[in-house]
């Protein structure tokens, strides 16, 4: 390898810097902070200064990750840094992948391959690449009254069971991500499941408890190795149609009780996860967690969405994880993240992340994607986090970008939303279509694994 000796030297220096600073700002995101996030970071440093005593702030390790294409030597080093192991990773550190759309992708005719060009289960490719945990979203009833799927994977319980069994077969554990909705649940919407509409809070709590316990029972009966359960998805602003935090906590308690009971009945150690997003500025999310703790909710860990193009810089993310550990005694992990390897669109349905979203230091290349993941893992680990789940690394085009793929999306639910979702979610028509995530997968548009998928092995 060209510049190998230079690389080794820089890598050694980089590790030394890591030891001294806890890898503060090891990503080149430091250079990419916007004024706004810089303000957040400054506020964070003021508020959580105790967390930052050993952090050097603007560390000089940008030489290790490179400053961009203007400096060939730096770029060479950047390309190689992601191939190095991360020191001190726990044996059970989570190398997670959300593959919720995989089953409908396969039904839509998408093929996945190994590095030799042989067709291969994407789950096996992930397992072979070092992924040890699979995340699967579950919607209560993502179908209209005629049985037409809402799309976005049509992720009902049988889908989770089928994918979960396959993941278990490859030796991976499963995180079950209950949305407690019939379709996408996020900060913008938390629509109550059709079957729970009109219920009082206590009736809804009871239904949520029954649903959680019954669903987990079915997963265990099928042999799925469930290791963690998310009670709700990105519930910053509510859950299952409830917006008051006291009401949400009541629902969460019902979910938590169901998980604890089945955990005891089946002799399984299942982690109970509460999932938030929008971690920057951090004060909002930390105030929410405080309410959960003060409200007496029984839970084990926090799952956080962290998309670097939306959710602030890595220092803020690290400080949130550290704060959760130090002040609430809870572990945290990244429940969702992603980064693009190209700016191309593969299926004729525009992508969510484009040029203006790129984070400085991470170009829209295979190396950029891998470098981002390496830096993220390094930072999560140094903050005491449990690991990282990548979001939808196998959501590929179902047909070429110049074709009309809508019939396939509609029939199998392999796009964001089908036309059948509108009755339930009035905004679904706005995002009706295909995959807006195909430039952020770990496979190319034709289903061949990218070199960046090897980053998980290298990190270990
Ligand atoms: Ca697309």
pLDDT tens digits, residue range 219-250? 999 999 999 999 999 999 999 999 999 999 99
pLDDT for residue 421 is more than 50: yes
Q: Give 319's DSSP letter.
A: H
pLDDT for residue 28 is more than 80: no
CA–centroid distance, residue 397 to ligand 1 (Å) = 7
CA–centroid distance, residue 357 to ligand 1 (Å) = 15
pLDDT for residue 174 is more than 70: yes
What integer pLDDT is reported at residue 24 of this predicted model?
31
Tell me what the mean pLDDT of segment 166-195 comes to.
Answer: 98
pLDDT tens digits, residue range 150-159? 999 999 999 9
CA–centroid distance, residue 398 to ligand 1 (Å) = 10
Q: Comparing 74 with 311, which gets the higher pLDDT? A: 311
pTM: 0.84
CA–centroid distance, residue 279 to ligand 1 (Å) = 27
pLDDT tens digits, residue range 323-346? 999 999 999 999 999 999 999 999
Tell me what the mean pLDDT of segment 9-24 comes to.
Answer: 33
pLDDT tens digits, residue range 48-87? 333 333 333 333 333 333 333 344 444 444 448 999 999 9
Of 234, 242, 250, 367, catalytic? 234
What integer pLDDT is reported at residue 80 of this predicted model?
81
pLDDT for residue 307 is more than 50: yes
What integer pLDDT is reported at residue 19 of this predicted model?
33
CA–centroid distance, residue 401 to ligand 1 (Å) = 8
pLDDT for residue 39 is more than 50: no
Tell me what the mean pLDDT of segment 404-422 comes to.
Answer: 96
Question: What is the helix (H) or strand (E) element at residue 216, kind and residue range?
Answer: helix 201-221
What integer pLDDT is reported at residue 399 of this predicted model?
97
Tell me what the mean pLDDT of segment 134-152 comes to.
Answer: 98
Question: What residue spans define the domains of the chain?
Answer: 18-459
Of 78, 250, 336, 367, catalytic? 336
Q: Which of 309, 244, 315, 248 is nearest to 275 (CA)?
A: 248
Contact 313, 29 (CB under 8 A): yes
Instruction: Write out the two tokens for 321.
Output: 């994880």
Q: Comparing 192 with 24, which gets the higher pLDDT? A: 192
- The backbone torsions φ and ψ at residue 335, rounded to the nearest 5 degrees and listed phi first, read -85, -20
Alpha-carbon dihedral of residues 414, 213, 161, 300, nearest 10 degrees? 80
Average pLDDT, the chain: 87
Instruction: For residue 261, indicate whether it is catalytic.
Output: no
* Residue 422 CB burial class (10 angstroms; 0-12, 13-18, ≥19): middle
What integer pLDDT is reported at residue 206 of this predicted model?
98
pLDDT tens digits, residue range 253-284? 999 999 999 999 999 999 999 999 999 999 99
Could you tell me what percent of the chain has a pLDDT over 90?
81
Does the domain at residues 18-459 carry the CATH identifier 3.20.20.80? yes
Q: Comparing 90 with 70, which gets the higher pLDDT? A: 90
Contact 231, 213 (CB under 8 A): no
Tell me what the mean pLDDT of segment 412-431 comes to.
Answer: 93
Q: Round to whole Å and give the CA distance between 56 and 22.
A: 9
CA–centroid distance, residue 300 to ligand 1 (Å) = 36
Maximum pairwise Cα distance, the chain: 68
pLDDT for residue 403 is more than 90: yes
pLDDT for residue 196 is more than 80: yes
Query: Which residues, in sequence order, are CB contacts of 259 under 8 Å at separation 6+?
Result: 212, 216, 229, 231, 270, 272
Tell me what the mean pLDDT of segment 99-111 comes to.
Answer: 98
Contact 306, 336 (CB under 8 A): yes
Instruction: Tell me the pLDDT band of 430, cut-offs 50, 70 and 90.
Output: confident
Instruction: For residue 203, indicate whether it is catalytic.
Output: no
Number of helices and strands in the chain (H, E)? 15, 8
CA–centroid distance, residue 340 to ligand 1 (Å) = 12
Instruction: Tell me the pLDDT band of 429, cut-offs 50, 70 and 90.
Output: confident
Instruction: Tell me the pLDDT band of 431, cut-offs 50, 70 and 90.
Output: confident
């Amino acid at each position: 390898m060209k510049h190998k000796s230079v690389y080794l030297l820089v890598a050694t220096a980089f590790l030394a810097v890591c030891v001294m600073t806890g890898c503060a700002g090891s990503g080149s995101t430091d250079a990419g902070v916007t004024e706004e996030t810089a303000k957040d970071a400054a506020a964070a440093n003021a508020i959580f200064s105790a967390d930052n005593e050993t952090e050097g702030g603007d560390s000089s390790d940008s030489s290790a990750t490179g400053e961009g294409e203007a400096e060939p030597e730096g770029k060479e080093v950047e390309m190689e840094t992601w191939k190095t192991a991360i020191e001190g990773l726990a044996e059970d550190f989570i190398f997670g992948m959300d593959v919720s759309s995989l089953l409908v992708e396969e039904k839509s005719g998408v093929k996945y391959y190994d590095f030799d060009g042989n067709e291969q289960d994407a789950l096996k490719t992930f397992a072979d690449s070092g992924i040890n945990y699979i995340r699967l979203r579950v919607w209560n009833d993502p179908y209209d009254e005629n049985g037409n799927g809402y799309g976005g994977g049509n992720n009902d319980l049988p889908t989770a069971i089928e994918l979960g069994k396959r993941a278990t077969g490859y030796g991976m554990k499963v995180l079950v991500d209950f949305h407690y909705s019939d379709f996408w649940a996020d900060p913008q919407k938390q629509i109550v499941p059709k079957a729970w509409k009109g219920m009082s809070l206590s009736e809804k709590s009871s239904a949520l408890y029954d649903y959680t316990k019954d669903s987990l029972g079915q997963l265990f009966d099928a042999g799925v190795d469930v290791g963690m359960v998310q009670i709700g998805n990105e519930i910053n602003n509510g859950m299952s149609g409830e917006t008051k935090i006291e009401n949400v906590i009541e629902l969460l308690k019902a979910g938590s009780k169901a998980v604890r009971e089945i955990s005891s009945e089946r002799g399984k150690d299942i982690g109970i996860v509460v999932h938030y997003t929008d971690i920057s500025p951090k004060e909002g999310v930390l105030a929410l967690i405080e309410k959960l703790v003060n409200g007496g909710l029984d839970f084990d860990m926090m799952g956080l969405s962290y998309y670097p193009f939306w959710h602030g810089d890595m220092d803020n993310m690290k400080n949130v994880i550290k704060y959760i550990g130090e002040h609430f005694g809870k572990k945290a992990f990244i429940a969702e993240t992603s980064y693009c390897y190209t700016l191309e669109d593969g299926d004729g349905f525009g992508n969510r992340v484009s040029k203006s979203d790129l984070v400085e230091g991470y170009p829209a290349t295979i190396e950029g994607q891998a470098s981002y993941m390496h830096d993220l893992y390094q930072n999560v680990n140094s903050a005491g986090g449990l690991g990282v789940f990548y979001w939808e690394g196998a959501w590929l085009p179902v047909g070429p970008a110049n074709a009309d793929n809508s019939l396939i999306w509609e029939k199998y639910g392999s796009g964001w939303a089908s036309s059948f979702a509108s009755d339930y979610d009035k905004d679904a028509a706005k995002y009706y279509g295909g995959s807006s995530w195909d430039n952020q997968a770990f496979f190319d548009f034709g289903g061949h694994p990218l070199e960046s998928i090897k980053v998980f092995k290298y990190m270990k």
